[in-house]
Amino acid sequence: MNPLKQDLSIYRKFNFKKPPVCVKFLSTRPEGIEQLDKSLSFCEMLKEAQERGAPFYFAKENENCFGKALMGMEDLPAFAEAGEVGIRLEIFQEPRANSHLYQYLNLLPRGIVNYVAYSTLDKLKFEPDLLIILASPSQAEIILRAMCYSTGVLRESKTTGVLGCHWIYNYPYRSGKVNFTVTGLAFGMKSKEVFEEGWVLISIPYNWIPVITKNLHEMKWVLPSYTEGREQFLIREKTNIDELARKIENP
């Protein structure tokens, strides 16, 4: 793993309730990091990282749900892709509905990823593939605004009712797009009580980490429009619009 070169200390300023977690996908076993000593589902690994403190990695034998199939450590069971699991758990009306969503998934090819390493941001020693943040809506607004601040890029949230872990890990990593969702929407994470409801879970891929980090240093975090109150904002908004209109009419 390449050693960490980025300065990500700006994220400490948020005082997140739970520490941000960095993830690295590896084909070979990492050195200097302990292997997880238990078995968890893919979505629970994030919570484990937040609470454990020390960095760790997991291999195929440590994952007890469909995460290892998403990562390409093994084949996806045919009964899952046929939509039978969602029927047994009463999530979908028919297998076809459950099966339909698999066309949207970015499954990794077999053997590319054999190990997944985790570290909280404060203990991070390697360049991450993903930076995953559990944020309040106000904190999430700042992060997503930082994404758009210099780019104007569209904010998109993509998820499915099941396999919520895919949209935290696979999708951002493979697409290179920032993704976010609200905790409590994904079946597995809700059933396993991974997170409290109502938090914004943001997954930032490696190509966006430098952009968002730089913009967090540059931009105002709390805009005047958020603190001055509705009436004062309406006055200032109208004043600005009228002034711009006059400049266009009288260049």
pLDDT tens digits, one per residue of 90-134:
999 999 999 999 999 999 999 999 999 999 999 999 999 999 999
pLDDT tens digits, one per residue of 231-241:
999 988 999 89
Mean pLDDT, the chain, integer: 95
**Distance separating alpha carbons of residues 112 and 142, to the nearest angstrom:** 34
In this structure, what token pair is assigned to residue 150? 């210099």
Q: Which residues fall within 8 angstroms of residue 176, CB to CB, at 6 or more apart?
A: 205, 207, 208
Q: Are 63 and 41 in contact (CB under 8 A)?
A: yes
Specify the amino acid at residue 51. E
Examine the pLDDT at 251 and tell me if it is beyond 80. Answer: no
Examine the pLDDT at 250 and tell me if it is beyond 80. Answer: no
**DSSP secondary structure letter of residue 110:** T
**SS3 category, 207:** coil
pLDDT tens digits, one per residue of 170-209:
999 999 999 999 999 999 999 999 999 999 999 999 999 9
Q: In the chain, what is the greatest distance between 2 CA atoms, to the nearest angstrom?
A: 72
In this structure, what token pair is assigned to residue 170? 């696979």
**pTM for the full predicted model:** 0.94
Q: Are 6 and 30 in contact (CB under 8 A)?
A: no
| Sequence ranges of the domains in the chain | 9-219, 221-251
